[in-house]
Structure 1
Amino acid sequence: MSERAREALERLVVDVPDFPEPGVVFKDITPLLDDAEGFAAVVDALAAAGRDGDGNVVVDKVVGMEARGFILAAPVALALGVGFVPVRKAGRLPRSTYAVSYALEYGEETLEIHQDAIAPGQRVLLIDDVLATGGTARAAVELVECCGGTAMAAAMLMELSFLRGRDVIGDLPLASLMVV
């Protein structure tokens, strides 16, 4: 990761204690999004996960998970010169979809992708704001595979390492810009 991206994260991600409930320290990224230079540095750092060691783009699509993942994934797709694919909560995509459900600590969630969003054989980079328990990322990998694509890597703005999400996503290469 570039020094610019590291500095932007340190300076612009704000801790908000007791949000959304007592005892939780929420990492607010809205100041980062409001800073064009910092946001650009972070987008470049996330996009690096879609390039090889020589800087060549090695993915065909970027998938962003609802909802904050969209904010990061769309500019990453533009930076790589590839298409953006949204993975949404159930019932929010207008055409035929594949769906994957997964457990949360407080219930269950279902994510969907358009059936024609990724062509068989396409290589995909997954982008989200936070890797927590890994359920969302694991579901996104399964959706990419339902389409016939291959998840090549994931890049997250931040990783909550104490929740062990890396264990859930298995051997998928993962780049986390900030580990908490």
Structure 2
Amino acid sequence: MTQANELAQQIYDLDEDVLEAQLGILAEEMGGDLTGQSAPRGVSVDSIDLDVGTRGVIPPGAIAIGQKVFNQVNAEAYKILCTPLGDESTRETLDKALEENYTKAAGMLAPVLVSSLGLAPAVAAIVASLIIKRISKDIAGGICSTWEKSLNISETSTTNEGSTQTS
């Protein structure tokens, strides 16, 4: 378990641009199949390149692809956890985890994304870290109300196209 916690911390510590680039790279390598079934590399969290930010070379377009993938998955994840049909006990657990430790919250959210959306563990780990990073900036009021603000749900008719990009 300690090894998993250390990995979650390392992923969470990456810059948002690096996380988006990693998400874009994985999505391209997986041929757009975020479940990882078409590309074995995308199945494991070990496939995340934790040193990509230190090398300073991020493939052109990787961030844009990662942002697009994130916006789509982020909206779907929100629907699963924060709508009336969402899992209230998971939401409450995430709220408590956010009060304690952001890395712990990201580590708890990733398996939910794997089981609910069928994401590959590597994709889920990156998306969970990005979600928690973005909503942790203004967490007053709980995870769903803050998450909703980051999606601009009240201003748009669809969540897939209406989510904002922040970096």
Q: Which has the higher contact order (CA 8 A, sep 6+)?
A: 2
Higher helix content, 1 or 2: 2
**TM-score for both structures, normalised by structure 2:** 0.30
**TM-score for both structures, normalised by structure 1:** 0.28
Task: Return the index of the structure with the highest Cα Rg.
Answer: 1
